[in-house]
Amino acid sequence: MLAQKMHDHAADAWLINTGWNGGAYGKTGKRISLKYSRAIIDAIHSGELKKATYQTYPIFGLEIPTTVSGVPAEVLNPATAWQGSSLDFEQTVRKLAELFNTNFDKYKDQASADVIEAGPKL
């Protein structure tokens, strides 16, 4: 129903990471600063994000803006924000995708084909 209403009214939806960035919780990861979160929200309200250039984040298929005024580029992309080896990052991303898919399996029979297709691809 929400998807239909959004379609009917040409509404946009934005997924904003206000959580951990730069590494795993309890290690090198830190919460994204409120200053950067506000800058991202400002970019949504001003229309900047609607006009931005995006890159597709692998496995999860999310679109990440390459620039947002007031936000360092490395904060926008988890791979460039990661403080550690690229192998460690890749393993962490894969584990997160596996956890997501395992949890989603409980609800798969209630989801549409579009929702199922939108999940992480391993």
3-state SS string for the chain: CHHHHHHHCCCCCCCCCCCEECCCCCCCCEECCHHHHHHHHHHHHHCHHHHCCEEEECCCCEEEECCECCECHHHHCHHHHCCCCHHHHHHHHHHHHHHHHHHHCCCHHHCCHHHHHCCCCC
pLDDT score of 34 more than 90: yes
Structural domains of the chain sorted by starting position, each given as residue range(s) with its CATH number in brackets: 2-117 (3.90.228.20)
Mean pLDDT of the chain: 93
pLDDT score of 23 more than 90: no
Question: What pLDDT score was predicted for residue 26?
Answer: 82
User: What CA–CA distance (Å, rounded) separates 20 from 23?
Assistant: 7
Interacting residues of 67 by C-beta distance below 8 A, sequence separation 6+: 52, 53, 73, 76
Q: What pLDDT, in 10s, does the model give residues 44-93?
A: 999 999 999 999 999 999 999 999 999 999 999 999 999 989 999 999 99
Residue 12 DSSP class: -
Give mean pLDDT, residues 20-34: 87
